[in-house]
Amino acid sequence: MTETSYEGRLFIDGEFREAKSGERYEVINPADESVVATAADAGPEDVYDAVTAARRAADETAWGTDHKFRRHCLEQLQAALRNEAEAFRTLVTAEAGIAGSVLPTHVDVMIDGMDFWNELTTSFPWEEDIGSHTILGMNSDRRIRYEPYGVVGAITPWNAPFMTAIWKVTHSMATGNTVVLKSAPDTPLTGAKMAQVISQTDVPPGVVNMISSADKAIAGDALTGDPRVDMFHFTGSPGVGQRIMERAANGIRHVVLELGGKSANLLLPDADLDMACALGVGMCMSSSGQGCALATRMIVHADIYDEVLQRLQTMVSNLPWGDPTEPTTVVGPIIRAEQLERIEGMVDRAKQAGARVLCGGKRGDRGGKGFWYEPTVVADVDENSEIAQNEVFGPVLSVIRYQGDDDEAVRVANNTRYGLSAYVQSRDEERAWRVANRLRAGTVNINNSFYLGPDAPFSGWGISGVGVEHGVAGFRDYLRIKTIASPAK
C-alpha cells in the first residue's frame, strides 16, 4: 500500500483534521523500517479540543441515557468493523508487526466479542429497587441507579492496537460514556482507521474522538491533566500507570489500569509434558512475546526439569519466526530499536549472572532491516534476578527450577510484584485448582485453558493494575452508582 492509503489525521467532534501545529510524524514498519504512513502530531491544544467535544456530547445529548440508540450504534459499528477486518489485519501487521498466527485473535475475535457488550447495553439493570428500610423513624424505598462517568480518557499500548482500542471505545460507548482515545505513538493508524469506520455510522459527533502524538508524554499529560475528564482507562507500563493515577488524584477521578505482568507458569511434577511444554512455548511466544498476560516465567519441578529443558530447546529452536505477513509465523519483529536493545540487555545480564541460554539469545537478521530478536529460552534463572522479576516484553522464556512440594511452587510463583495472570500444569485437576486458588493473580489458567473472553473479568493484582476490564464487573467499572430514597409506599 502507498502512504496515502492510510488515514492519519485526528478525529475530533466527528471530523478529521490535522493537528493545529500542522506537524506530522512517520509511522515505521518494525519488520523492514519502511514508512507505513504519517500521522498527525497532536499537541495540548488538540487534546483540549477533543475533550471539549467529548464533554459537550456527554453533557448536552441523550447519549448517556438512550440505551436502545447506543445499542443500535454499536451493532452498526460491529457490522462495519467486520467488513473492514481484513484491512485491519493488514494494518496492525504493518504498524505493530503482529504475526500472522495470532491475527484472528487480535482482530476477528475482538469484533465477535462485541456481542456481549452490545447485549449488555440494553439488558443491564440500569435501575434496581432494593426494598424498604426504616431508620430515624422514616420508612424509605430505595433504588440503585447506574450512570456513566461522562468523559473517558483512554490510552492504548502499541502491542495490541486494535484489541485495546476496540475494548476501550466500545466499552465506553456501551456504558453511555464519551471517549477521547490516545493511541500509542508507534501505532496511531489503527485508531485513525477505526475512526473512519465510526464516521460511517450513526454515532453522534463528539462521542468518540481519536488523537495521536509522536511524544506520548505531551498528549498524555494534556489528557490526564484536563479536569473535565472524569475517568481514565489505561493499558501500559506500571510506571506510566502510577503517573496517571497520581494525576487523576487531582479531582479524585476514577482510574482503571492494566499494567503488565510477569506471569508464572507452574509445571508441577505430574504435568503432562507433551501438553505443558507445547502450551508453555505458545503462551510465551505468542504475539512475539509482546503481551501482558503471557506465561514468561516457567517454574518447573526438579524431577522434570531436565526433560522440560530438552523439550523447550527443541521446540523454540524450530519456532517459525520472521515475516509477520506469513500465516504460520509465531514470532515477528520487535516494535522498535529501543525495545530491542532492552531485550538484548536483559538477556545478556542474565547470562552474566549465571543463567544458561539454551537457544536464541541474540538479535535476528533479515537482510539488515527491521528489529528482530530470536526466540529464546533462558534456563537456570534465579527467582530473584532481573529477568525473573521484570517484564521483558519480547520472545524470551525464563525457566526457574524449584524443589519441594506445592507450597514451594506457590511461593516461587507469588515472588513477584506483578499479578496479572498465572498458569498451572498438572494431571490432577483438583491439585491444580488448589494451587490456582492460592496464586496472587487476577486470572489463572489450568492446563490447556485460557481465560480471555468478553464475559470474563480481567484485573491485575499488585503492580499489574487496579479496576476491572471485561465482564459485567468491567461494565460496572465504567459506571457511577447512585442510591435514591423515597417515602415507602
8-62 tens-digit pLDDT = 999 999 999 999 999 999 999 999 999 999 999 999 999 999 999 999 999 999 9
Supply the pTM of this predicted model. 0.95
Length of the chain: 489
- C-alpha distance from residue 3 to each of 34, 91, 193, 466 (Å): 10, 12, 14, 39
**Given a cut of 60, is residue 478 above it in pLDDT?**
yes
pLDDT digits (tens, 9 = 90+) for 378-437: 999 999 999 999 999 999 999 999 999 999 999 999 999 999 999 999 999 999 999 999
Give residue 5's pLDDT.
84
The three three-digit cell numbers of residue 110, written as one number: 475482538
What is the set of active-site residues?
258
| Coil, strand or helix at 356 | strand
**Given a cut of 90, is residue 2 above it in pLDDT?**
no
Query: Strand 127-135 relative to strand 35-40: parallel, antiparallel, unpaired?
Result: unpaired
Instruction: Characterize 240-274 residue by residue with b for buried, 16 or more Cβ atoms within 10 angstroms of its Cβ, and e for exposed.
Output: bbebbbebbeeeebbbbbbbbbbbbbbbbeebebe
3-state helix, strand and coil shares in percent for the chain, rounded to the nearest 5? 40, 25, 40
> Mind listing the domains of the chain with CATH numbers?
10-260+464-487 (3.40.605.10), 264-452 (3.40.309.10)
Q: Tell me how far apart the alpha carbons of residues 32 and 38 are, in angstroms, rounded to a whole number.
A: 16
Burial class for 466, CB neighbours closer than 10 Å (0-12, 13-18, 19+): middle
**Cell 516484553, located at residue:** 393
**Range 337-359 average pLDDT:** 98
Give residue 4's pLDDT.
45
Give yes or no for a contact between 106 and 92, defined as CB atoms under 8 angstroms apart.
yes
